[in-house]
Amino acid sequence: MHRRPVDSSVIAEVGYDRGTRVLEVKLTSGAVYRYLGVPARDFLGLLAAPSPGRYYNEQIKATYEFRQV
> How does pLDDT run across 22-59, given as a tens digit for each residue?
999 999 999 999 999 999 999 999 999 999 999 999 99
Residue 57 CA: distances (Å) to CA of 19, 61? 24, 5
> What per-residue confidence (pLDDT) applies to 40?
97
Q: Provide the 10 A C-beta neighbour count for residue 3.
A: 14
pTM to 2 decimals?
0.94
In 3-state terms, what secondary structure has residue 41? helix
N residues, the chain: 69
CA distance 35 to 45: 15
**Domain ranges, residue 16:** 4-68
Query: How many structural domains is the chain composed of?
Result: 1
Q: Are 28 and 9 in contact (CB under 8 A)?
A: yes
